[in-house]
């Protein structure tokens, strides 16, 4: 089943089911110790954390311990994911600007990035970071069974989502005032959390699906912006490339050009998606979710006896 609730079942039970499913998937991927598997694990952990953040709005203390444990796993996986994303981002720049640097220069830089990635993976295996992450995911998954999630009704969702919307809107304003890598990354995290929370509730509010797709695009552009920032830091800090300062500066200029393009597109789309004040957003969502409640309340039309043959 997709990352969404079964609309015919209890919301609180469905939220626990979805979290346990994502944690199981994450643990299975972590145990493979492969780059692609780690990336998939991280996505599942992010989905689970988005639901935990939503539940903490209702009762923060009850989910504090598991929120901390999932945060620690997320940080472990982020280091490995960034090492992989740096290479993919470098390859994208290489294709976009094929003539800006000689091919042999691109090859040297990529070789250094691959070596850096290998060092990070070896370090994770040596200190058993992935093994510890897998153990933690298993422990949290067991803990979910004991979660005392209060009753959640369809009518509660607008307020729950408005909290994430408000946080995303504030983060965007801060990023507009101080457009740094750190501020845009914070904005991206808020948007991604909101996107996941809207996705899990999509079956209760089909009218949100177009908006969900646009939030996906926004977090994708912000994610690509973050990848470019990580690439620049990695290249600048790589000792093996210190003899190529001119080439490193050229790559940084290429990266900055793409960053500005992504930043411009993200702010344009963000202004559209986050234009409403939170109270207005909440009122609109109440109408969207109430349509689901009204459909469920409608009596099922019975076929006339003459039509049954």
pLDDT in tens, 13-58: 999 999 999 999 999 998 876 666 888 999 999 999 999 999 999 9
Query: What's the average model confidence in pLDDT over 232-239?
Result: 87
Query: What's the average model confidence in pLDDT over 180-192?
Result: 96
Q: Name the band, by pLDDT with cuts 50, 70 and 90, for residue 211.
A: very high
**What's the pTM value of the predicted model, to 2 decimals?**
0.90
User: If phi over 0 gives left and psi between -120 and 50 gives alpha, with beta otherwise, what is residue 110?
Assistant: alpha
- In terms of Cα–Cα distance, which of 73, 68, 6 is closest to 43? 73
Residues in the chain: 309
Residue 76 confidence (pLDDT) above 50:
yes
Query: What's the average model confidence in pLDDT over 169-184?
Result: 96
Distance in angstroms (rounded) separating the CA atoms of residues 112 and 47: 33
Q: For residue range 244-268, what is the model confidence (pLDDT) as tens digits?
A: 899 999 999 999 999 999 999 999 9
pLDDT of amino acid 35: 60
Q: For residue range 114-166, what is the model confidence (pLDDT) as tens digits?
A: 998 888 888 877 788 888 999 999 999 999 999 999 889 999 999 999 999 99
pLDDT of amino acid 116: 87
Residue 299 confidence (pLDDT) above 60:
no
pLDDT of amino acid 33: 60
Helices of type H across the chain: 11-30, 35-56, 64-96, 103-126, 129-144, 157-177, 181-200, 209-237, 245-273, 278-297
Residue 101 confidence (pLDDT) above 70:
yes
**195 φ, ψ (degrees, to nearest 5):** -60, -45
Is the Cβ–Cβ distance between 74 and 42 less than 8 Å? Answer: yes
Q: Name the band, by pLDDT with cuts 50, 70 and 90, for residue 80.
A: confident
- From 95-99, 146-150, 212-216, 238-242, the region with the lowest mean pLDDT: 238-242
pLDDT of amino acid 42: 92
Residue 272 confidence (pLDDT) above 60:
yes
């Amino acid at each position: 089943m997709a990352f969404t609730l079964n609309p015919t079942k209890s919301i609180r039970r469905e939220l626990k089911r979805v979290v346990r499913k994502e944690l199981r998937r994450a643990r299975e991927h972590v145990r493979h110790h492969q780059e692609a598997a780690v990336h998939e694990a991280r996505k599942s952990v992010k989905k689970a954390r988005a639901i935990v953040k939503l539940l903490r709005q209702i009762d923060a203390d009850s989910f504090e311990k598991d929120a901390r444990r999932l945060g620690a796993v997320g940080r472990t996986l982020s280091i490995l994911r960034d090492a992989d994303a740096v290479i993919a981002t470098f390859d994208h720049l290489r294709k976009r600007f094929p003539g800006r640097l000689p091919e042999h220069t691109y090859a040297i830089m990529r070789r250094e990035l691959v070596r850096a990635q290998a060092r990070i993976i070896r370090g994770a295996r040596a200190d058993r970071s992935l093994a510890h992450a897998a153990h933690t995911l298993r422990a949290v998954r067991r803990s979910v069974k004991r979660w005392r999630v209060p009753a959640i009704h369809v009518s509660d969702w607008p307020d729950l989502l408005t909290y994430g919307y408000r946080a995303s809107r504030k983060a965007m304003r801060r990023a507009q005032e101080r457009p740094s890598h750190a501020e845009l990354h914070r904005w991206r995290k808020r948007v991604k959390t909101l996107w996941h929370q809207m996705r899990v509730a999509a079956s209760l509010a089909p009218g949100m699906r177009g908006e969900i797709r646009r939030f996906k695009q926004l977090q994708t552009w912000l994610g690509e912006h973050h990848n470019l920032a990580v690439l620049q830091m990695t290249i600048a800090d790589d000792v093996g490339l210190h003899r190529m300062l001119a080439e490193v500066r050229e790559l940084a200029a290429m990266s900055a050009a793409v960053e500005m393009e992504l930043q411009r597109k993200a702010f344009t789309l963000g202004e559209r998606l986050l234009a409403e004040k939170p109270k207005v957003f909440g009122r609109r969502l109440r109408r969207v979710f109430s349509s689901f409640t009204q459909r469920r309340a409608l009596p099922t039309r019975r076929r006339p006896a003459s039509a049954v043959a």
